[in-house]
Amino acid sequence: MQDPENIVDETLAITEHQVRDFLEAFRVPMACDCADGEHDLVLNPDNQPNLLAIPDPRDEDLENWFFWLNCNCCGHARMISASRVWTWIKTKDQDDE
Ligand SMILES: [Zn+2]
């Protein structure tokens, strides 16, 4: 049984490669509606996938975390739930056992 208290540290440790595997597993379309651009995963200078943290106005202790994709033409952004990626990685590991 996974310890959910590790979710913060483990989400911070998710790599570019793991997010790209997730995008591929769910066939997240990379073509943008603007028809002239492609979405790509936004990375930090150290190649870690960039995280957005959006606070819940109903609960000051709660933040929603997202990895995000950005269109290289129009700038449209697509957000991917970081907790969903975390869950997928955990489930995938269990399936491998
Ligand atoms: Zn676009």
- In tens, the pLDDT along 29-66 reads 999 999 999 999 999 999 999 999 999 999 999 999 99
Q: How far is the CA of 27 from the centre of ligand 1 (A)?
A: 18
Pairing of strands 51-56, 39-41: unpaired
Domain range for 81 is 4-96
CA angle 21, 23, 25 (to 5 degrees): 65
Count of domains forming the chain: 1
29 C-alpha to center of ligand 1: Å? 12
Distance 9 CA to ligand 1 centre (A): 32
Whether the Cβ atoms of residue 42 and residue 68 lie closer than 8 Å to each other: yes
Q: What count of Cα atoms within 13 Å lies in the side-chain half-sphere of residue 48?
A: 9
Q: What is the tens place of the pLDDT at every residue in 59-81?
A: 999 999 999 999 999 999 999 99
* Cα 95 to ligand 1 centre (Å): 36
In a 3-state reduction of DSSP, which class is residue 79? Answer: strand
